[in-house]
Amino acid sequence: MATNYNASTNIYAPGLRSVGSYQVSGWPYTTGSAVADTARYKVSFPYVTKSITIIASSSAEEADMAGHLRVHFADNIDPGVYTGRHYITLDTDKDSITFDVKCKEIYLSAIGDDVGFELYASLTGIPTSSMFHLTGAGVTETV
């Protein structure tokens, strides 16, 4: 059952606990870019995600990836992200990872050299305003 109710229209809208929003096929969302060495890149989604796939890629000038792509759910300016190792590292060209996760944004950072990425997300119909800010153990806090 949907968790958001609009009393003025007498209509339920999907919410974070709306099981059907995660059971049906999601709306496709694709993007990509390059992340400069030691820089960060934020991807903000138009709706809450159902799943996210990220593929690392070398720059157009290089056949192999010289840098590493880090994927995290909190901005790396938060010191807990790196000290707690709350990131996944993609090391080689076409290295990929898929997250079955609900979120409204994801962060990517490059270490060692510029790194490219391609991103595919499956989106629900849940507005990002319904999604809480990801923080705490496993995201920003060192245990």
pLDDT at 69: 95
- Which fold is adopted by the domain 25-130? Jelly Rolls (2.60.120)
- Which of 32, 28, 26, 27 is closest to 94 using CA atoms? 32
pLDDT at 120: 98
pLDDT at 62: 57
pLDDT at 141: 78
pLDDT at 63: 60
Longest dimension (CA), the chain: 57
Task: Indicate the pairing of strand 115-127 with strand 27-35.
Answer: antiparallel
Question: Splitting the chain (143 residues) into consecutive groups of 10 residues, what average pLDDT does each group show?
Answer: 53 76 90 93 96 87 77 86 90 94 95 94 93 80 71
